[in-house]
Amino acid sequence: MSKIEFLDLGMQPIANNFLSSVSDIKNEYKFRLAVTFDDDTKLVSLSNFVSPDLMFNDSYVYHSSLSKTMRSHFKDAALSFLKDYSPEKVLEIGSNDGVFLKNFSSKRSTAIGVEPCSNFANITRDLGYATYDKFWNNQLAKEIVLNHGKQDLIFSANCICHIQNLDEAFSAISKTMSSTGIFVFEDPSLLSMINRRSYDQIYDEHAHIFSIIALRNLLDKHDLSIFKVQSLKVHGGSNRIFVCHKGVRSIEESVSEIISKEIDAGLNTIDAYRRFAYDVEKSKRQLLDIIHELKRKNYKIISYGATSKSTTVFNYCGIGTNLIDYIVDTTPAKHGKLSPGAHIPVISPEEGFNDTVDYAFLGAWNYENEICEKERKFLKKNRFITHVPYVRFIK
Ligand code: DWN
């Protein structure tokens, strides 16, 4: 049997489907969030996929530009690609609010976006970038090549792992990339997830969590080669993967270096995933223990960052308004809503992050440095709680 399920995180909602009112609860969509290892390709994927239209539509709420960390991350990325590869034609798959695209001016290059969430596609269109509000597939690739020609740089951040049919996605990329072009994508690293026990990287949108081992196997079928990998700190540990048509560029050492680390961690065998599943259970028990203990002492606990990740944690651990009073988040579209599944009210930090709060669960743990810097006053007397890489307080 080549597909082995190793973790079940229970019935979960759509991670970014914030509810407008209590009356929406009865129609809330739920599915069984479980994870499977494919022993042939070594790919880790959800056991059950959710229909893309239910997740990515004109009500999508995640804005890449809202964090200072991500704005400078994408600016640096764009500048380094311009310096190292001088692409004239740039295409971004999953362009969100244009945080990457807007670093390309029409003087040096033409940049176009693909973004199925039309509320976001309208933002980049208004900025002057041709944007297709469609899902990435062979048909769209054909349309783009016809209208704009083949592309020198195809970039995608936190989007390829959202695509369920990777064979079609890679085939479409291969047909859209010019003969000397590059495809660069970044997504959460499976190695980081396993090492940091950050099981909350698993939710409906993340159809797959990638190892370089699995990606090399999948890309090879489309005559595409990984020629460089960079480890990134963003989103709790990501990989930036550089791909070209086979034989066009020499393969840098970074590829074999990271594959060796993955093999050392056992990512090519099921045992590492079974150990991870055991650690996830333990993390749940420890988190519940400390939250219950604080609650018994009558402390006020809230959550900081209404992330997709916290949807997984709250629904897996059974944490609701019995333990967490509310969630503060900077995204205006989440304010006044109820968090998916756990139905915890979401309000702005201005409204809720004040002297009455004793402890805050860090839903946005991937921005620990940015948030701790910003919230120095809170940390003088109070503490954040996180479960990554183990359950602990942040002073
Ligand atoms: O791939 C994806 C990643 C990139 O973004 C998507 N599938 C969905 C989304 O996942 P997430 O919701 O877990 O992403 P973030 O970037 O961890 O979300 C941070 C949230 O925290 C945002 O809602 C903004 C909020 N926030 C805040 O309230 N105060 C963030 C910071 C830095 C802050 O200071």
Tens digit of pLDDT for each residue in 39-87? 999 999 999 999 999 999 999 988 899 889 999 999 999 999 999 999 9
Give the distance (Å) from ligand 1 centre to CA of residue 224: 31
Higher pLDDT, 178 or 106: 178
Q: Rounded CA gap, 45 and 187, in Å?
A: 14
Question: Using a 6 Å cutoff on CB, does residue 158 contact ligand 1?
Answer: yes
Q: Rounded CA gap, 244 and 226, in Å?
A: 7
Q: 242: helix, coil or strand?
A: strand
pTM of the model: 0.96
Question: Using a 6 Å cutoff on CB, does residue 156 contact ligand 1?
Answer: no
CB neighbour class for 262 (10 Å; exposed up to 12, middle 13-18, buried from 19): buried
Contacts of 102 (CB under 8 A, 6+ apart): 124, 127, 129
Cis preceding linkage at 188, omega within 30? no
Residue type at position 371: I
Question: Using a 6 Å cutoff on CB, does residue 163 contact ligand 1?
Answer: no
What token pair was written down for 155? 């970039």
Q: Rounded CA gap, 40 and 221, in Å?
A: 13
Under a CB-based contact definition with an 8 Å cutoff, are residues 100 and 77 in contact? yes
With DSSP H G I counted as helix, E B as strand and the rest as coil, what are the percentages for the chain, rounded to 5? 40, 25, 35
Model pLDDT, residue 105 = 83
**Could you identify the atom of ligand 1 that is nearest to the CA of residue 370?**
32
Give the distance (Å) from ligand 1 centre to CA of residue 81: 25
Give the distance (Å) from ligand 1 centre to CA of residue 64: 8
Give the distance (Å) from ligand 1 centre to CA of residue 305: 7
Report the 10 Å Cβ neighbour count for 360. 27
Taking CA atoms only, the protein residue closest to ligand 1 atom 14 is 307
Looking up tokens 């016809």 gives 146
Give the distance (Å) from ligand 1 centre to CA of residue 169: 25
pLDDT tens, residue by residue, 213-252: 999 999 999 999 999 999 999 999 999 999 999 999 999 9
**Could you identify the atom of ligand 1 that is nearest to the CA of residue 334?**
23
pLDDT tens, residue by residue, 251-277: 999 999 999 999 999 999 999 999 999
**Could you identify the atom of ligand 1 that is nearest to the CA of residue 203?**
7
State percent of the chain over pLDDT 90.
96
Is the pLDDT at 107 greater than 90? The verdict is no
